[in-house]
Amino acid sequence: MTAAIRGSVVTFKKNPFFNPADECIVYEQDAMIVMQDGLITAVGSADQVLPDLSADCRIERYDHALIMPGFIDCHVHYPQTEIIGACGKQLIDWLNKYTFTAEQKFRDASYAREAARVFLRECLRAGTTSASVFCTVFAQSVDTFFEASARLNMRNIAGKVLMDRNAPIGLIETPRSGYDATKKLIERWHGCGRQLYAVTPRFAPTSSPEQMEMTGAVWQEHPGTYLQSHLSENTEEVEWVGRAYPERHGYLDVYAYYGQLGPRSIYGHGIHLSDAEFRKLHDTGTALAHCPTSNLFLGSGLFDFHHAMNSARPVRVGLATDLGAGTSFSQLVTMNEAYKVAQMSGYSLSAAQAFYLATLGAAQALYLDDKVGSIAVGKEADLIVLDLKATPILEYRMQYADDLDEALFILMTLGDDRAVRATFIAGEKVYWTESAPCTEQFAPALAEASL
């Protein structure tokens, strides 16, 4: 079955942190994207693409909208959906008071199943088509997540959290049982359809040296899998790591020593990092997930774009919500907060840079840019349609946008999940708003045949 969507398309082909925006953004005002068997099979101006469409191709046309690659959330905790906006103090108190309590409920598979359903529904409503997801220590919370993700045919990364100390007794296990369970889950889920596995040590303080050793080993034994964790989010946490691993030279060195850096490893936050640590991230191809709403909510600190995007040693960075410390599923809201965080350190994030961080930049951080994150022939057809008239104020403000750059900036400043008019996963429309349906069209050949 072939399907096509028509409208204005925005996607990226280069990194706007290091190249002029007009060399990075691809914009086609009246474009057509053709999708077959989950992939994009043609994209270009409608004039060019229309004549070659097969007679049975259904076309949906979206006016007053931008069609983009689906957003990618580089770091998020699905079991924390129920604690978003829990009023706490900073990281360690918040973890002890809310997070560990909530995560213990995921021993129950039916509880986890319902949470995974709600979480993925919210992702699709927010236009997020892929995410790198922390589950809990319970293997069943990973199974239920992947089952729901596979049913939707989403390309998601997820993994079982590993902890063997400094957490409630109900959430810790031995290094051996964590290793064995991870191995089984990798065999069950990594590469099953679009599902990808991430070995998931929560963070250095909740793993003993023995567990860190086995975690690095299980990741190295399974090439192609991911590794996700947290790094230098909060100053108290950084000091704690110093006490827990006195023989190591700083937080990042703990992960380096235990073989947990390299392509397909991604760390949330990275706020309190030294120059040498940024260089190490660059040299090893390790990525950072920037989580601005979480960093503001927990008062963790301000991500430093000047350092991360140093052209002499750039680090791969993707945008992330980090729910439930993060306060919104929407990557538009997250971009808005990323802009403000950057402003606080004198870095003015452009709209192109912000959208890049949630699409192609995120895909590059996750080494998935050959599959998702942009709109091009051969890429998986994960697409979103953003409505430029989604709310009265967006509609009003957009009248005064002089160019695409301004329209994108307004969208990230005023937009949220209400701006998402439709979400496509592997070419299938899985979410759309009733209030703003598209106009349906038929391919010229079919329209002629029915005359």
Which positions touch ligand GUN (CB under 6 A)?
77, 91, 95, 99, 202-203, 230, 233, 294, 322, 325
With CB under 5 A, what is the number of residues at the site for Zn ion? 2
What DSSP element (H or E) covers 171?
none
Cα distance between residue 293 and residue 343, in whole Å: 14
73 near Zn ion, rule: CB under 5 A: no
Report the distance separating Cα 318 and Cα 372, nearest Å: 13
Output the smallest distance, CB 66 to Zn ion, in A.
29
Among ligand GUN, Zn ion, none, the one that 95 touches (CB under a kind-dependent 5 to 8 A) is ligand GUN
What residue spans of 269-330 are helical by DSSP H? Answer: 275-284, 292-297, 305-308
Between residues 77 and 264, which has the closer beta carbon with respect to ligand GUN? Answer: 77
Q: How far is the CB of 134 from ligand GUN (least distance, A)?
A: 7
Q: Considering CB distances under 5 to 8 angstroms, the limit depending on partner class, which of Zn ion, ligand GUN, none binds residue 91? A: ligand GUN
Q: Say whether 97 sits in a helix, a strand or coil.
A: helix
Judged by beta carbon, residue 3 or residue 142, the one nearer ligand GUN is 142
In angstroms, what is the minimal distance from the CB of 298 to ligand GUN? 6
In the complex with Zn ion, the residue whose CB is nearer, 237 or 322, is 322
Q: Is the peptide bond before 193 cis (omega within 30 degrees of 0)?
A: no
> Using the rule CB under 5 A, is 322 a contact of Zn ion?
yes
Work out what residue 203 binds among Zn ion, ligand GUN, none; the CB cut-off runs from 5 to 8 Å by kind: ligand GUN
Q: Binding Zn ion by CB under 5 A: which of 16, 69, 88, 268?
A: 268
Shortest Å, Cβ 202 to ligand GUN: 5
For the bound state, the minimum distance from the C-beta of residue 315 to ligand GUN, rounded and expressed in Å, comes to 19
Q: Which residue has the tokens 């590794």?
A: 227
Can you tell me the distance from the alpha carbon of 191 to that of 198, in angstroms, rounded to the nearest whole number? 11
- For ligand GUN, the closer of residues 233 and 337 by Cβ is 233
Q: Give me the least distance between CB of 87 and Zn ion, in Å please.
A: 18
Stretch that binds Zn ion, among 26-34, 138-146, 301-309, 317-325 (CB under 5 A): 317-325
What is 15-79 written as a DSSP string? -TTTS-HHHHEEEEEEEEEEEETTEEEEEEEHHHHGGG--TT-EEEEEEEEEEEEPEEEEEEEGG
SS (H, E, C) 180-248: HHHHHHHHHHCCCCCCEEEEEECCHHHCCHHHHHHHHHHHHCCCCCEEEEEECCCHHHHHHHHHHCCCC
Q: What sign does the dihedral 86-89-93-94 (CA atoms) show? A: positive
Binding mask 183-202 for Zn ion (x = CB under 5 A): --------------------
What three-state secondary structure class fits 128? Answer: strand
Residue 129 near residue 339 (C-beta atoms within 8 A): no
Is 292 an interacting residue with respect to Zn ion (CB under 5 A)? no
Q: Based on CB atoms, which residue is closest to ligand GUN, 182 or 294? A: 294
434-443 in b/e form (b: 16+ CB < 10 A) is eebebeebbb
Question: CB of residue 387 vs Zn ion: minimum separation in angstroms?
Answer: 30
Would you tell me which residues interact with Zn ion (CB under 5 A)?
268, 322
